[in-house]
Copies of this chain bind each other. A is one copy, B any other.
Amino acid sequence: MEIRHPSKTREKPNKRPSMQEVAEAAGVSRSTVSSVLNNRPDCFASQATRQAVRRAIEKLGYRPNLNAKSLAKGRSMTLGVALNGVNIDPVTRTFESFEFQARSRGYYTLATYSPNDAQIEASNLCWLEDRGADGVLCIPTEYGRHEHLLEMKRRGLAVATYDAARRLGLPIDDVSIDHFAGGRMIAEHLLSLGRRRVCIAQFAHLCWVVEQRIAGIQSVMREAGLPPAELLSLSVEAAPQGCWSDAGQREIHAFFDARRGEVDAVAAVGDIIAHGIGGVLRRDGWDIPSDIAVAGYDGSVLSASPLLPLTTAHNPADDAGRIAVEMLMEQMSGADPDRAPRQVELTPKLIVRESTAGSAASP
């Protein structure tokens, strides 16, 4: 005679018990169970009632259905992250920081992954929204207009990007790394060591962040009255570790072999490629850094390799993750959606190691 669908679905033996069943077992109503569970401020349940509820929960092994909960509440306490190329050090570190910051604010983090595929990334983003995330961070590593992010924002979702909205001119919160400044600090460092014949190692497939680094380097060269740095463009794929392949190593070898005695420094657009170049050069008999200084970029863990401790521009990923969470939190706390987007640009930090300035760097 109960008013509403008394627990009649008891066919499946191992079904998760519902709140209704807990209520029945405790001899109270669903709403009481709900109040006790979320200990609402306006819940005046007696200690006896609370005990009964807790015991019933324990006995039945009750677990709340979070989908139902967020459906009813309109909030999920969940933040989504759309990752691209999970193996990329700054991405990983930003994600770890994001997760930590979200967790410490009571939010769970949901990550989706795309192997640097704009299609998949878009569908992941969409899915995170449809799944009920309260906010999403998009960490793209490639080009793409990302206009669907505007749609999401319009629908009321909290949205932020890493290294994207700012450069694309989208009115969306964004935390970026100032790669132009990063390039400059690397170049200034090299020049301060007396190096003059600098070259730049990059991949054929350029992207915005890399162009920025290169522009930063060239601006320093120009200001110093030096000719622009020559470019070594590898035809191999950047990830994963394409520059370490035989083909990549051959290209590196050919380039530097033709310039022996001419170049005295190389600024690579990433630590991985710097590491690879170091390997080839050493094998070819160059001494690092006396014959040639090698600088990386990103401050990835690889840059600390004892085989070639790399001077690098450390990506402040911890800050980036924290700021991204803060941006989302602000939006979720009902900030005016039409306010000017917060777009923060963080500056990398120069880490000097033996690959440019060392004494004990040679084997």
> A residues engaging B (CB < 8 A)?
12, 14-16, 61, 63-68, 70-71, 76, 78, 86-87, 92, 95-96, 99-100, 103, 108-113, 115, 120, 124, 126-127, 129-132, 151, 154-156, 240-241, 244, 249, 275-276, 278-280, 282-283, 301-302, 304-308, 337, 360, 363
Contact = CB atoms under 8 A, between A and B. Distances in A.
Nearest to A246: B306
Contacts of A154: 14
Contacts of A308: 279, 307
A156 B15 contact: yes
A241 B301 contact: yes
Contacts of A151: 61
A99 B70 contact: no
Given A66-B130, A127-B66, A130-B65, A279 B306 contact: yes
A241 B92 contact: no
Given A14-B337, A307-B308, A109 B110 contact: no
B66 A276 contact: no
B304 A305 contact: no
A249 B241 CA distance: 25
B249 A306 contact: yes
A68 to B, nearest CB: 5
Give the 5 A-B CB pairs with smallest separation, nearest first. A279-B306, A279-B307, A111-B111, A67-B67, A363-B363
User: Could you say which of A95, A130, A151 has the most chain B C-beta atoms within 10 Å of its C-beta?
Assistant: A130
A28 to B, nearest CB: 22
Given A16-B156, A279-B306, A301 B109 contact: no
Contacts of A126: 63
12 contacts: A15-B155, A16-B155, A61-B151, A65-B132, A86-B86, A111-B112, A241-B301, A244-B301, A244-B304, A275-B307, A278-B306, A280-B306
A130 B249 contact: no
Nearest to A243: B306
Contacts of A304: 241, 244
Contacts of A67: 67-68, 70-71, 76, 131-132
Given A70-B67, A302-B302, A307-B307, A109 B113 contact: yes
Nearest to A110: B110
Given A71-B67, A151-B61, A306 B244 contact: yes
A208 to B, nearest CB: 24
Contact of A306 (B78, B111, B283): B283
Contacts of A109: 112-113
User: Could you say which of A65, A68, A278, A306 has the most chain B C-beta atoms within 10 Å of its C-beta?
Assistant: A306
Contacts of A70: 67
A92 B96 CA distance: 13
